[in-house]
Structure 1
């Protein structure tokens, strides 16, 4: 008797199911049984595609980190348009308004997962490290265009913005911060380096 439905693109469907469990119930509820139940498939499906559950979780994180590349390219392409503050605030909202906060919680809560991820991300917290690089790259592009000061320390500003953004969105059970709260934090952090004409 079948125990689930056939999955096309099983890896992506398992990742999506894991995200739903993470968002709804948090990292402690994320088990192989919870994922396969959410995906509507037999538990063996997960183990056909991944060596074990920790390997699945590591690939889930790497898959979600890879999405930042697209966000980074779009953010860098926005350099010179709009305002620096608006572009950064939108990037932080896009990043942390997704499953990113839950993924960070998952990484922090699982020692074995962190150990596996250290093989490819030896320092920092995966996802936050790449997000910081995304913001730093964008700010460097704006510095080259003269919209922020030539002496702006983008390598300090970027983690400050990521840390502040993460804290605004970190309450998994609460409502997301209002846009004005994100705008205020970004404006405060970059106030000393912005040279552009504000609208």
Structure 2
């Protein structure tokens, strides 16, 4: 007799089940059996949709990458609005959410998964490198608008923001830092590159990132 329940959208429900296992138990606990048990479906469902478990995991990673399109659209819509530091802080909070950080850890920990991803993505860490491109595009748009210094090196600032943000947010078991802690990190990275419009210079001792 078949076990489990029928899935209306098997791929999506399997991805969501895998994310729950990742968040609850970590990358080492993620197996095909754990995923199908979490999804409450027959064990064969996963292998009907994916050649093997690494192929499933690669699709899971790329699904998270695809979600960056929404973040990118939101950031570009915010160009010239609010503050650069505020926009970046909000974007990093979304980009480096608990599931995304867990997916990065999964990628780093599984040789077979990395090898499969490298067939189409030969450089960088998937998700982190894609997020870096998202931030670089936003920073370039703000530089063109004049809210960043013309000398701002967006190709250096973007990976620095991703690296610093990931270091701050990567501890899956610890207490999550508050938004202010991340904002301070962002301000520290981009503060020197922010353009100060005439008549709106920071007061003595005030960090330009508050503008």
Q: So what's the TM-score if we normalise by structure 1?
A: 0.97
Kindly state the Cα deviation for residue 43 of structure 1 after the two structures are TM-superposed.
0.7
Kindly state the Cα deviation for residue 93 of structure 1 after the two structures are TM-superposed.
0.6
Kindly state the Cα deviation for residue 69 of structure 1 after the two structures are TM-superposed.
1.4
* 1:118-161 deviations in Å (ceiling 9; x for gaps): 11211000000000000000000000000000010000000000
Answer whether contact 2:131 2:162 (CA < 8 A) is retained. yes
Aligned to 1:124, the other structure's residue is in SS state coil
**1:35 maps onto 2:39 in alignment:** no
**1:108 maps onto 2:108 in alignment:** yes
> 2:87: which partner in 1?
87
C-alpha separation between the residues in 1 aligned to 2:27 and 2:21?
A: 8
Higher RCO (C-alpha 8 Å, min separation 6): 1
Aligned to 1:192, the other structure's residue is in SS state helix
Answer whether contact 1:97 1:176 (CA < 8 A) is retained. no
C-alpha separation between the residues in 1 aligned to 2:190 and 2:64?
A: 28
Unaligned runs of 5+ in 1: none
* 1:28-74 deviations in Å (ceiling 9; x for gaps): 00000000000000110000000010110010001111111111111
Answer whether contact 1:131 1:162 (CA < 8 A) is retained. yes
> 2:97: which partner in 1?
97
> 2:126: which partner in 1?
126
Give every structure 1 segment of 4 or more consecutive aligned residues whose post-TM-superposition deviation is greater than 6 Å.
none
**1:7 maps onto 2:24 in alignment:** no
Kindly state the Cα deviation for residue 97 of structure 1 after the two structures are TM-superposed.
2.0
- Within a 5 Å distance, the mapping from 1:16-35 to structure 2 comes to 16-35=16-35
> 1:143: which partner in 2?
143
Kindly state the Cα deviation for residue 174 of structure 1 after the two structures are TM-superposed.
1.2
Answer whether contact 2:98 2:172 (CA < 8 A) is retained. no
Q: How many residues align?
A: 199
Kindly state the Cα deviation for residue 95 of structure 1 after the two structures are TM-superposed.
1.2
Unaligned runs of 5+ in 2: 201-209
Tell me the C-alpha RMSD between the 2 structures: 1.0
- Within a 5 Å distance, the mapping from 1:42-191 to structure 2 comes to 42-191=42-191
> For structure 1, which segment, 189-198 or 19-28, has the greater mean C-alpha deviation from structure 2 after superposition?
189-198
C-alpha separation between the residues in 1 aligned to 2:30 and 2:69?
A: 26
Answer whether contact 1:160 1:189 (CA < 8 A) is retained. yes
Kindly state the Cα deviation for residue 2 of structure 1 after the two structures are TM-superposed.
3.1
C-alpha separation between the residues in 2 aligned to 1:42 and 1:127?
A: 30
C-alpha separation between the residues in 1 aligned to 2:46 and 2:13?
A: 10
